[in-house]
C-alpha cells in the first residue's frame, strides 16, 4: 500500500496517481510511466524484469518509480495497478469499440480473467485450502454438487477426481437417485459434499444444501463471497471473486482453483496417486480409449510447492 496523502487510501486510481507524481519523475521514469499508462492491462501482470524490459528501462528505474510514487514495495505498486484493471475492465468493453480487432478482444478477455485470478490468489485462505485437500484425501465418499452454469465446474472436478480415487459421485440435474442415496446413508457423516455455488446462485443448489444440513451431512463450498446463500451450511469454503458477469461469465479462476486442489491432492501422496494414474493409463490403452496412445504421465511434482 502506498504511504502518504496520495496512497491507495484516496479515491484516485493508479493513472491519476501517475499524473500527480509526474512532476517528481526523472526522464527515464516518465518513459516508464508513459508505457504503463498506455499498456496498463498488460503491465499489471508483469514482474519487475518483464516490465522494465517491455518499457525499455532498467529495473532500478522501475524501483525508483515505485519509491517516487510513495509505494513501500513493488508488490503494492503492482496491486494498485491490478486494482485499476479490475475497476476499468468490463466484459462488455470489448464490444463497445467498432474498431476492436480479434487480437484486442482476446487481450481484453485474458486481462479480465487474469485480474480475477490475481485477486483470488492474493486473498486465498491457505489453511482452508490445505484442510479441503486433506478431506478430499481421507473422506470415504465425495459428492460433487454443481447446477446450472456451476455444473461445468462440478463435472471437471469429478472427471479428474475419479482418476485419483474411488467413491466420487456427481450430483447433477439428473442425479436425484444420488441425492436419495446420500440422505438415507446410515454413515452419511463420513461423506463430504463439495459444492460449487456462484452467482446467479442456482436455487436447487441452495435447497439441496439446506436438506443436507438438516441431515448433518458435511459440506465444503467453492463460492464467490462470504455472504453466499449457502454459507450457513458449510464446514469450510474457498473464495473465488466473481466479476464482470454477463451472458458469458468468466470461468478461468474457478477452473484454476479446481486444478490446484487436484494437484495438491496428488502432491499429498504422490506414490499412491502415481500408481493410480498409471493404472488409469493402462486401462485406457486396454480399451483403446484414445487415438493418441504415446503420451506418458509427466509425473514431475518436485517443482510444485
For residue 296, CA distances in Å to 60, 216, 279, 293 come to 44, 43, 12, 8
Q: 3-class SS at 89?
A: coil
- Cβ-based neighbour number of residue 294 at 10 Å: 4
The fraction of the chain above a pLDDT of 90, given in percent, is 49
pLDDT digits (tens, 9 = 90+) for 278-295: 888 788 778 887 776 666
Distance of CA 181 to the CA centre of its chain: 32
C-alpha cell belonging to residue 32: 516508464
Alpha-carbon gap, residue 213 to 255, rounded angstroms = 26
C-alpha cell belonging to residue 236: 469450510
Domain coordinates in residue numbering, the chain: 14-88, 93-122, 126-268
Q: What is the pLDDT of residue 94?
A: 45
pLDDT digits (tens, 9 = 90+) for 33-60: 988 988 888 888 889 999 999 999 999 9
Q: Are 120 and 226 in contact (CB under 8 A)?
A: no
C-alpha cell belonging to residue 238: 474457498
Give, in words, the CATH class of 14-88. mainly alpha
pTM: 0.66
Q: 3-class SS at 193?
A: strand
Q: Which of 169, 166, 147 is nearest to 158 (CA)?
A: 169
Q: Are 198 and 254 in contact (CB under 8 A)?
A: yes
- Cβ-based neighbour number of residue 38 at 10 Å: 11
C-alpha cell belonging to residue 127: 489453511
Q: What is the pLDDT of residue 9?
A: 44
In this prediction, residues 24-40 reach a mean pLDDT of: 90
Q: What is the pLDDT of residue 170?
A: 96
pLDDT digits (tens, 9 = 90+) for 56-97: 999 999 999 999 999 999 999 998 998 887 776 654 454 454
For residue 110, CA distances in Å to 39, 41, 85, 107 come to 14, 9, 12, 5
Residues 126-268: name the CATH superfamily: Glucose-6-phosphate isomerase like protein; domain 1 (3.40.50.10490)
Alpha-carbon gap, residue 219 to 212, rounded angstroms = 8
Are domains 14-88 and 126-268 of this chain identical in fold? no
Alpha-carbon gap, residue 298 to 305, rounded angstroms = 17
- Bridge partners (DSSP) of residue 222 are 196, 238
In this prediction, residues 150-176 reach a mean pLDDT of: 93
Alpha-carbon gap, residue 17 to 7, rounded angstroms = 8
**Region of residue 242 (left: phi > 0; alpha: psi -120 to 50; beta: else):** beta
- Placement of cell 463430504 in the chain: 192
Higher pLDDT, 292 or 21: 21
Amino acid at each position: 500500500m502506498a504511504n502518504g496523502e496520495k496512497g491507495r487510501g484516496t479515491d484516485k486510481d493508479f493513472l491519476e496517481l501517475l499524473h500527480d507524481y509526474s512532476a517528481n519523475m526523472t526522464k527515464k521514469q516518465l518513459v516508464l510511466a508513459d508505457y504503463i499508462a498506455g499498456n496498463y492491462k498488460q503491465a499489471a501482470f508483469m514482474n519487475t524484469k518483464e516490465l522494465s524490459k517491455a518499457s525499455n528501462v532498467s529495473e532500478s528505474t522501475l524501483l525508483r518509480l515505485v519509491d517516487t510514487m510513495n509505494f513501500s514495495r513493488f508488490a503494492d505498486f503492482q496491486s494498485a495497478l491490478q486494482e485499476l484493471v479490475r475497476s476499468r475492465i468490463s466484459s462488455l468493453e470489448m464490444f463497445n469499440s467498432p474498431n476492436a480487432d480479434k487480437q484486442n478482444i482476446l487481450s481484453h478477455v485474458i486481462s479480465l480473467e487474469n485480474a480475477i485470478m490475481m485477486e483470488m490468489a492474493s486473498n486465498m485462505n491457505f489453511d482452508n485450502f490445505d484442510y479441503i485437500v486433506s478431506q478430499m484425501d481421507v473422506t470415504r465418499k465425495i459428492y460433487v454438487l454443481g447446477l446450472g452454469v456451476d455444473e461445468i465446474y462440478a463435472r471437471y472436478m469429478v472427471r479428474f477426481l475419479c482418476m485419483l480415487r474411488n467413491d466420487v459421485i456427481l450430483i447433477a440435474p439428473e442425479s436425484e437417485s444420488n441425492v436419495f442415496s446420500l440422505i438415507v446413508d446410515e454413515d452419511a457423516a463420513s461423506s463430504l459434499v463439495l459444492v460449487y455455488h456462484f452467482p446467479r446462485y442456482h436455487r436447487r443448489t441452495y435447497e439441496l444444501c439446506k436438506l443436507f444440513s438438516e441431515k448433518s451431512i458435511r459440506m465444503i463450498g467453492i463460492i464467490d463471497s462470504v455472504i453466499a446463500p449457502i454459507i450457513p451450511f458449510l464446514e469450510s469454503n474457498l473464495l473465488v471473486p466473481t466479476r464482470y458477469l454477463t451472458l458469458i461469465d468468466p470461468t478461468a479462476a474457478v477452473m484454476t482453483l479446481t486444478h490446484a486442489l487436484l494437484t495438491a491432492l496428488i502432491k499429498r501422496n504422490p506414490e499412491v496417486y502415481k500408481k493410480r494414474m498409471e493404472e488409469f493409463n493402462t486401462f485406457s490403452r486396454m480399451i483403446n480409449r484414445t487415438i493418441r496412445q504415446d503420451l506418458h504421465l509427466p509425473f514431475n511434482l518436485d517443482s510444485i510447492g
